[in-house]
């Protein structure tokens, strides 16, 4: 009889077929055991609220950014507003938020970055303001061919040339320098001397406003 091969084949097929456990057709719970969006804690599907798109203007223009804030050129109602116009020469005078860039005023007009220079400031309010600006500013000395630039991110209200600048170094004779301003509007100490290792003091009368160590 030829039943034996058929019986053997049936046994082999049964032995090699893996058994699968019953699993739910849809994954409704995350790795932390909490229901995934669209399911409740019973594993039942629930409806989700419809996604909301950013509001558009009447002509279909996107007026709001991903953070919900109005884009430049729109107010918080989605209405178009006028941005400041560039200068007559076409130079960009304003940033994306409509604020003047450095070197321009709120009318888009170019302004000088060089502060006014006085041989001596006689206005007491301005004098006190300038002294405070120098004493609180972060200033670093940069060696130039004709002196030292005193670089600072502070925009000084004015330059008072009557301020005393003393360069001192242990074992060396102190030097008196003149305070000036260079073409970029930075404080400048014109000198041909190499002041490496010296300490510079900017003084208003007997009061030391700023000390700077030269490397």
Task: Enumerate the domain spans of the chain.
Answer: 79-111, 117-213
Average pLDDT over residues 68-81: 72
SS3 81: coil
What is the pLDDT confidence band of residue 38, given thresholds at 50, 70 and 90? Answer: confident
> Residue 2's pLDDT is what?
52
Distance from C-alpha of 36 to C-alpha of 47, rounded to nearest angstrom: 12
Instruction: Give the DSSP H or E segment for 166.
Output: strand 164-168
Lowest mean pLDDT among 9-18, 94-103, 164-173: 9-18
Average pLDDT over residues 189-207: 94
CB atoms inside a 10 Å sphere around CB 156: 19
Per-position DSSP letters for 99-161, written without gaps between them: PBPTTB-TTS-B---SPPEESS---HHHHHHHHHHHHHS-EEEEEETTEEEEEESS--S-EET
> Residue 17's pLDDT is what?
45
Q: Does residue 75 carry a pLDDT above 80? A: no
What is the pLDDT confidence band of residue 37, given thresholds at 50, 70 and 90? Answer: confident
> Residue 97's pLDDT is what?
73
> Residue 6's pLDDT is what?
46
Average pLDDT over residues 140-156: 91
Average pLDDT over residues 22-48: 73
Lowest mean pLDDT among 109-113, 171-175, 209-213: 109-113
Closest CA to 159 of 136, 179, 189, 174: 179
What is the pLDDT confidence band of residue 77, given thresholds at 50, 70 and 90? Answer: confident
- Name the average pLDDT for the chain: 78
Q: Does residue 185 carry a pLDDT above 60? A: yes
Distance from C-alpha of 72 to C-alpha of 67, rounded to nearest angstrom: 13
> Residue 32's pLDDT is what?
75
Fold of 117-213: Immunoglobulin-like (2.60.40)
Average pLDDT over residues 77-81: 73
Average pLDDT over residues 159-186: 91
Average pLDDT over residues 108-112: 72
């Amino acid at each position: 009889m030829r039943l034996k091969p058929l019986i053997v084949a049936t046994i082999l097929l049964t032995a090699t077929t893996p058994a699968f456990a019953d699993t739910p057709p849809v994954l409704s719970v995350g790795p932390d055991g909490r229901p995934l969006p669209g399911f409740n804690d019973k594993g039942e599907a629930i409806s989700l609220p419809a996604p909301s798109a950013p509001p558009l203007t009447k002509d279909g223009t996107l007026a709001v950014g991903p953070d919900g804030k109005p884009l430049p050129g729109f107010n918080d109602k989605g209405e178009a507003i006028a941005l400041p116009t560039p200068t007559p020469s076409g130079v960009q005078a304003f940033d994306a938020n409509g604020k003047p860039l450095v070197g321009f005023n709120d009318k888009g007009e170019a302004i000088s970055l060089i502060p006014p220079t006085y041989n001596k400031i006689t206005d007491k309010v301005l004098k006190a303001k300038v002294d405070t600006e120098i004493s609180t500013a972060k200033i670093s000395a940069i060696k130039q061919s004709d002196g030292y630039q005193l670089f600072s991110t502070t925009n000084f209200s004015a330059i008072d040339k009557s301020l005393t600048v003393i360069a001192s170094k242990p074992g060396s004779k102190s030097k008196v320098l003149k305070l000036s301003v260079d073409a970029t509007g930075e404080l400048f100490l014109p000198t041909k001397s190499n002041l490496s290792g010296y300490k510079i003091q900017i003084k208003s009368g007997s009061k030391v406003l700023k000390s700077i160590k030269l490397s």
